[in-house]
């Protein structure tokens, strides 16, 4: 079956015409929940270095990587350890990942991070810290435009505390090239899922595989390819933003298909402060369209979602 390419708009984060940018974001989030983000301020050179360091880490012997097993959502998660869609396949996803949590902030948050030994990978930590900080800053600017897109004050998400020490998580991903050989069921790179948080900023190395399904309730599901555009982030809305907006903005199902080619990507999940209360925005409900979800503390929401995925 031929798969068509999703027609996603390119949003310019540096455009001085913020209202028109916000309108384009609104349209993209209502239609697709996905768009490209250009002129985001993360330098090409830094992106290149982050991919290189990621590649170096995943090339280490397994016993070296297993010295940093994922704890508190930070560290290494080996091949097949995660399954984003247990209904479609009993085997885990054909990917390995490394998570980096907030690199600054109050309390001991930053200290929870695990880092490869500087003797083995001397520039790894500083590269990932810079990348994390830069993407976090782009995400903060994007979120003020998302507020405008929702007809709120630009600093709405700052005022409700979402961006006090936000939970920015970087997930480095490596999909090995070989195709899984299971006769009974497909083995995905990443099986169908939506992201949990506010918004995700993704970069891939250009190898194909990412697909989106706009209408998650429709059967059979229709998948469309999302190619990487050089210099742009692929941005998507997460479930928490869908909840905040009473489903006005879509948190779209996506997956990574195995292509037989090795693939690297870096997903940055921008999530609110755990104490932030997520409740239906006034601009997204009315008498005829009442809130579909009760208010929830962001931290409680995540705890439950992670329990369902990883336990
Ligand atoms: O690797 C990709 O292209 C997508 C990764 C993804 O969807 C995720 O990590 O949530
Ligand atoms: Fe995802």
Give this prediction's pTM: 0.95
Cβ(174) to ligand 1 under 6 A?
Answer: no
CA of 92 to the centre of ligand 1 (A): 15
ipTM: 0.99
Residues 6+ apart with CB under 8 A from 17: none
Instruction: Please tell me the distance from the alpha carbon of residue 270 to that of residue 168, in angstroms, as a whole number.
Output: 5
Ligand nearest to the CA of 202: 1
Dihedral-angle region of residue 80 (phi above 0 means left; psi in -120 to 50 means alpha; beta otherwise): left
Ligand 1, residues 6, 173, 199: which to mutate, most atoms within 8 A of Cβ?
173
- Residue 212 pairs in a beta bridge with 224, 254
Residue tagged 């990587």 (tokens): 65
Written as tens digits, the pLDDT of the chain (311 aa) is 689 999 999 999 999 999 999 999 999 999 999 999 999 999 999 999 999 999 999 999 999 999 999 999 999 999 887 777 767 666 788 899 999 999 988 778 889 999 999 999 999 999 999 999 999 999 999 999 999 999 999 999 999 999 998 889 999 999 998 766 555 667 888 999 999 999 999 999 999 999 999 988 888 999 999 999 999 999 999 999 999 999 999 999 999 998 899 999 999 999 999 999 999 999 999 999 999 999 999 999 999 888 877 65
Atom of ligand 1 nearest to the CA of 173: 1
Q: Where are the alpha helices (DSSP H) in the chain?
A: 18-31, 44-58, 62-65, 124-149, 156-159, 239-244, 298-310
Q: Is 61 helix (H, G, I), strand (E, B) or coil?
A: coil
Q: Which of 41, 234, 50 is nearest to 138 (CA)?
A: 41
Q: Specify whether the CB–CB gap between 199 and 102 falls below 8 A.
A: no
Ligand 1, residues 262, 267, 305: which to mutate, most atoms within 8 A of Cβ?
267
């Amino acid at each position: 079956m031929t798969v068509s390419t999703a027609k996603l708009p390119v949003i310019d984060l540096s455009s001085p015409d913020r209202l028109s940018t916000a309108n384009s974001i609104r349209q993209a989030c209502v239609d697709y929940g996905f768009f490209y983000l250009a002129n985001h301020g993360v330098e090409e050179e830094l992106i290149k270095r982050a991919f290189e360091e990621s590649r170096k880490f995943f090339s280490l012997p397994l016993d070296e990587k297993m010295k940093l097993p994922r704890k508190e959502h930070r560290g290494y998660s080996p091949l097949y350890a995660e399954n984003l869609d247990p209904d479609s396949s009993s085997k885990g996803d054909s990917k390995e990942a490394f998570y980096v949590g907030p690199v600054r902030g109050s309390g001991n948050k930053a200290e929870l991070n695990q880092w490869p030994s500087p003797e083995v990978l001397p520039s790894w930590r500083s590269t990932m810290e810079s990348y994390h900080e830069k993407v976090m800053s782009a995400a903060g600017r994007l979120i003020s435009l998302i507020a405008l897109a929702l007809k709120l004050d630009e600093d709405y998400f700052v005022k409700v505390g979402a961006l006090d020490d936000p939970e920015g998580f970087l997930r480095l991903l490596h999909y090995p090239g070989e195709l899984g050989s299971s006769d009974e069921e497909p083995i995905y790179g990443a099986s169908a899922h939506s992201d949990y948080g506010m918004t995700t900023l993704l970069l891939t190395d250009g190898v194909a595989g990412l697909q989106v399904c706009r209408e998650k309730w429709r059967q059979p599901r229709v998948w469309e390819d999302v190619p990487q555009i050089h210099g742009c982030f692929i941005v998507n809305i997460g479930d928490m933003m869908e909840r905040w907006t009473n489903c006005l903005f879509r948190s779209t199902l996506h997956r990574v298909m195995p292509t037989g080619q090795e693939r690297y990507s870096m997903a940055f999940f921008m999530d609110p402060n755990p104490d932030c209360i997520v409740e239906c925005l006034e601009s997204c409900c009315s008498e005829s369209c009442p809130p579909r979800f009760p208010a929830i503390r962001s931290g409680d929401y995540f705890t439950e979602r992670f329990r369902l995925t990883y336990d």
